Structure 1
Amino acid sequence: MEIRQFMYFIAVAEELHFGKAAKKLGMTQPPLSQQIMNLEEALNVKLFHRTKRKVSLTEAGQYFYREVTKIQEKLNSVIQNAKLIDKGMLGMLKIGFGPDYGTLTKILKIYEQEYPNVQIQLEQMPTSEQLMALDKKEIQIGLLPGPIERKNIESRVVAEYPFKVVLPVDHPLAKEGGGIDLIDLKEENFIMTPREIGSAYYDSIINICNKAGFSPRIRKKTHELQTVIPLVSANMGVAILPEMLGYFKREEVVFLPINNCDVTLKNCIAWNKEARSPLIDLFLEIVEGI
């Protein structure tokens, strides 16, 4: 049996006339009649009653028609879905992300409007875990600080954030709305994430402080940037964070600009170039348009 024989059968069952069915299918009547006979022989079932004046379905033919039309609908759906998958418009897109909720939500809002049939699976993870997941092809997209220096990972900057000093609201310098000279914090305890979690952030902070004339005294480390803020609010130290973390701001802390500091945190979209796919290509098109 062949799929085309099912299509021939459906046409005859709906027209109940071999001549009309053949015209509908764009073929002549003799080969259509032969194909129906071949189908009946393969099934060892009589599907049609045939007389010189009339063609009608047998009881088995009526049942076969009902079920074959279901198969046809399913096949059409499968074909359509295969085309959508090939174009990157259907499937599952796994995205790893850090604390840059603003950029993530802006991209996803547009992406989900354009491609509603793509399921998004989000997983929050530190930079080091995102890079590992990209290497292993466990995620297709990462949203993480750059630059990213790996041969198999490509990236594109999607957002850039200035750094701010984060102080407890009752800190003596908390009222310095005009900006902070970092050298004034050289005796403070700093709260940071360790370098192995994300080198781009860690190296930026060390660089900023070194340019200001001191090395930060790191006394507390946490594995997620957003958890730095509650530690500052508990008076465990001060911090330097990218402005995007203002999303997690609370009343017990203040974010203040840093005087004479032009260093920024560059957040990137990253992907494994060995796993490039239509899904990733369409996602990158959305990112380019923002």
Structure 2
Amino acid sequence: MDTRHMRYFMALAETLHFGRAAERMNMSQPPFSRQIAMIEHTLGVKLFERNSRNVALTPAGKHFMKDCRNVLGRFEEACRDVRLVASGMKGEMRFGFMMHAAHSVVPQLVQLYAEARPDVRLVLDERTPTEIDEMLVAGTLDAAVTFDCGYAPHLQTVLLVRERLRIIMRKEHPFATAEQIGPEELREEKIIAAPAATAPALRSAINSYFSAKGIVPHVVLEPRLQHTIIQLVAKGLGVALIPSSLCTEPGAGLISRALTDAPQLDVVLRAPITTKNPAVSTFMEIGKSIQRTLL
């Protein structure tokens, strides 16, 4: 038996009339009657009481009707769902992002996508830029917000925002009253920065900022995460050049200041060009729509 036989049964169970049930199934009555008889024979159960005038469900038939309605309902739901998944209207999308992007573009992206695709489960994964690059290549992320590390022919890329670096320090630091600070003033400062292995674009921007003036930055600590960097600065262990989105509320006892000719980093939304997940295309379109408001 299959769902086709269940539909034959349901047509008769709901109409209790062979002629009307056969018509519903676009059949003549004799072959329809044979189908009902075959169903009862296959199950070894009498589902209908019938005589020349009436058709009625047996107790077994009533129970079978309830079960068939549930099975057919689930089957129809599965058919609807598979079409929705294929069209990107339902399913799951794995979205990675740099932790500091949670202070800027990520909340808006997630909100707009949840509104546009409420039946797509968005799995959020906070990662370092290097981890994001590796996971996009491996296919363990469907899309991600990260720093633009340059040419990537295997990825589709949407520029979201250009973010400048600022310097953070303790409020009692001698440079805390300056309006702008340049690399020359930071020549002797202890710098806390993420390692190149974790955030290559960010570390390259910091190194280039100093090397343009012939200075080698005195990096004393290299934690992987920006929030850890901020906490170390708060303990007076050095100063740090961090994305401006993290400087709106740097924390108790801290202050941020503008950098002279501050380095600029592009924050992008990326996804594999060869993605098989149809839910990604809408995410990229939303990225393009907010690009106009962020740039």
Report TM bin, short chain.
over 0.9
- Report the count of equivalent residues: 288
**Residue in 2 that maps onto 1:31:** 31
Equivalent residues of 2:181, 2:257 under 8 A apart: yes
Q: For the residues of structure 2 that align with 1:246 and 1:37, how far apart are their CA atoms? A: 77
Deviation of residue 149 (structure 1)? Answer: 4.1
1:107-153 deviations in Å (ceiling 9; x for gaps) = 00111122222222222111111122222222212211112444533
**Residue in 2 that maps onto 1:252:** 253
**Residue in 2 that maps onto 1:169:** 171
Amino acid at match of 2:40: E
Distance 1:148 1:81, change over 3 A: farther
SS class of match (2:88): coil
**Residue in 2 that maps onto 1:228:** 229
1:256-286 deviations in Å (ceiling 9; x for gaps) = 112233x311111122333342111121122
Identity %: 26
Amino acid at match of 2:135: A
Amino acid at match of 1:240: L
Q: For the residues of structure 2 that align with 1:130 and 1:248, how far apart are their CA atoms? A: 26
Equivalent residues of 2:84, 2:90 under 8 A apart: yes
SS class of match (1:277): coil
SS class of match (2:38): helix
Equivalent residues of 1:143, 1:270 under 8 A apart: yes
Deviation of residue 164 (structure 1)? Answer: 0.9
Structure 1: gaps spanning 5 or more residues: none
Alignment of 1:126-165 (within 5 A): 126-165=128-167
Structure 2: gaps spanning 5 or more residues: 291-295
Aligned with residue 114 of structure 1, among 106, 113, 116: 116
Equivalent residues of 1:188, 1:217 under 8 A apart: yes
Alignment of 1:4-19 (within 5 A): 4-19=4-19
Deviation of residue 7 (structure 1)? Answer: 0.7
**Residue in 2 that maps onto 1:53:** 53
SS class of match (1:209): helix
Q: For the residues of structure 1 that align with 2:94 and 2:34, how far apart are their CA atoms? A: 51
Equivalent residues of 2:193, 2:240 under 8 A apart: yes
What TM-score comes out, normalization by structure 2 length? 0.91
Q: For the residues of structure 2 that align with 1:30 and 1:148, how far apart are their CA atoms? A: 72
Q: CA RMSD in A?
A: 1.8
Q: For the residues of structure 1 that align with 2:261 and 2:78, how far apart are their CA atoms? A: 60
Amino acid at match of 2:29: Q
Equivalent residues of 1:183, 1:213 under 8 A apart: no
Q: For the residues of structure 1 that align with 2:2 and 2:189, how far apart are their CA atoms? A: 78
Equivalent residues of 2:132, 2:144 under 8 A apart: yes
Distance 1:110 1:264, change over 3 A: same
